[in-house]
Chains A and B, each alone.
Chain A
Amino acid sequence: MSDSILPLAARNLRYEVNGTVLIDDLSISVVPGSFTVVLGPNGAGKSLLLRLLHGLIVPTSGKIDWSVGAELRGRTLRQRQAMVFQRPVLLRRSVEANVRYALKWQGAGPGELKEAAESALHRAGLADRRRVPARLLSVGEQQRLVVARALAGKPDVLFLDEPTASLDPASVQQIESLLIEANAAGTAIVLVTHDIGQARRLGHEIAFVHRGRLVESGGAESFFSDPQSDAARAYLKGEIVV
């Protein structure tokens, strides 16, 4: 393993679809080991921001700089970051095969693959369900598997797009502890959520996005105790922010 692909610096991102500006002049950075929660009202552009950073979509203008040399772009960048989507996307294979598949594409050799898959399954509490077809798991288990799969290769950064939006409290708690554990082990986390309680529980840094712009960002404590922008104040009070 080479050095981390972080810090990530995104500068002046702009993303338009058919002339509508969805992300506007947005700059954000992600440093190694950080835990950033992206907050903001519906339609603010949080998911788009995540997809831009992860490289699933290309910004109309602006720059996304990773800390890797040009010779390591592409493949390495893909292998050292991972993303979890709101709806779990699982291959039509067994629980274990899902983890192994991801590990293989993340560049794990045959030796480390077995061990890494094993420990990922154990951490997620799915070791005794390894042979079950992944799609027969409950929704909570499915999302746990997706998070475990994403973390199996020990990525430098993990992006999550509302991973617990439709889960029961017990599943939410299990996923949160997976994230805390991974973060403690050195994986930077960027989490989009609607759940202010979750943001308080998990976030070290908060990025508040409103109408495609980064309105406010900084330490979680000061954000929650003393939000600087009107939009963030209203959002935290539970008012409807449009």
Chain B
Amino acid sequence: MGDIQAAFSLAANLILSGDADLFEIVGLSLSVSVTAVAIACAIGMTLGAVVAVTRFPGRGAIIVLLNALMGLPPVVVGLAVYLMLSRAGPLGVLGLLYTPTAMIIAQTILVTPVVAALTRQVVEDLHREYDEALKSLGVRGLGLVRTLLWDARYSLITVALAGFGRAVAEVGAVIIVGGNIDHLTRMMTTAIALETSKGNLALALGLGIVLVGISLAVNGAVSGLGGVAGRSRNV
């Protein structure tokens, strides 16, 4: 029990004293995950919407694949990105291994299928409702995709949040491609793993509390748009 009490007071201390190391770690975690989610949304939402409104041979297989990739193990993605970026790998010359960019790449790969698969579902449901009305207006192609993405915007915020949740919480991929280097690639999750293995349980738990707090804050901020998002329920 002592650990838990110590953890809470340490967490409070770290936050209230404006601990520079803590804020550096939190800042890096947020910037890597937010960037990865932004890229993943740009790719995944477009891909998901296109799959939702088109019919082509092999479409069913692609949907199964997207859904399966939602459960992609972070460690495997980390390993694959590591192999690509390591000195001997095809992209080794870029010298990206153990940089924040490498972590962004890994998290983007992790999050894109989540965003694409969920977007596909959301947009397909909406398309079913709009189909005849939009056909009647002659809406098709890119215009159709844009219309559906915009009209699904409130549901897609939730999709982006799901992606952010996966990115900010994962440790397996970033620890492999980032290396958990102090002041360079140390994230909240990798720091927690490190402190735990060092037996520094109070510090690890303190960081954990901060991480959970951030998750809550992000979700709270988004549902703070609630007045707007509430409209989506009025369908």
- Which of A's residues lie within 8 Å of B, judged by CB? 51, 54, 56, 75, 78-79, 82-83, 85, 89, 91-93, 101-102, 105-106, 133, 135-136
Contacts and interface: CB of A to CB of B under 8 A. Distances in A.
Interface string B21-50: 000000000000000000000000000000
A54 B136 contact: yes
Nearest to A81: B136
Nearest to B235: A135
Interface of B: 129-130, 132-133, 135-139, 143, 147, 150-154, 231-232, 234-235
Nearest to A105: B137
Contacts of B235: 92, 135
A157 to B, nearest CB: 12
A92 B132 contact: no
B232 to A, nearest CB: 7
11 contacts: A56-B135, A56-B136, A78-B137, A89-B129, A89-B130, A89-B132, A92-B151, A92-B152, A93-B151, A101-B147, A135-B234
Given A89-B130, A89-B132, A78 B232 contact: no
B231 A105 contact: no
Nearest to A146: B133
A92 B148 CA distance: 10
Contact of A105 (B138, B151, B154): B138
A191 to B, nearest CB: 16
A127 to B, nearest CB: 21
B137 A92 contact: no
B147 A56 contact: no
Nearest to B153: A92
A83 B136 contact: yes
Contacts of B139: 105
A102 B136 CA distance: 10
Contact of A78 (B129, B138, B151): B138
Contacts of A105: 137-139, 143
Contacts of A56: 132, 135-136
B138 A133 contact: no
Given A89-B129, A91-B147, A133 B234 contact: yes
Contacts of B129: 89
A92 B231 contact: yes
B203 to A, nearest CB: 47
B138 A75 contact: yes
Nearest to A54: B136
A215 B19 CA distance: 85
Nearest to A133: B231
Residue among B138, B152, B235 with the highest chain A CB neighbour number at 10 A: B138
Contacts of B147: 91, 101
Nearest to B132: A56
B151 A82 contact: no
Chain A to chain B: the 7 pairs with minimum beta-carbon distance, closest first: A78-B138, A89-B133, A105-B137, A83-B136, A92-B151, A135-B234, A133-B231
A85 B137 contact: no
Contact of A92 (B138, B143, B232): B232
B7 to A, nearest CB: 45
A119 B235 CA distance: 27
Nearest to B137: A105
A133 B151 CA distance: 12
Contacts of A106: 137
A38 to B, nearest CB: 17
B132 A85 contact: yes
Nearest to A77: B138
A185 to B, nearest CB: 21
Contacts of A83: 132, 136
A48 to B, nearest CB: 13
A169 to B, nearest CB: 25
A83 B138 CA distance: 11
Nearest to A83: B136
Contacts of B231: 92, 133, 135-136
Contacts of B132: 51, 56, 83, 85, 89
Contacts of B133: 85, 89
Contacts of A93: 150-151
A94 to B, nearest CB: 10
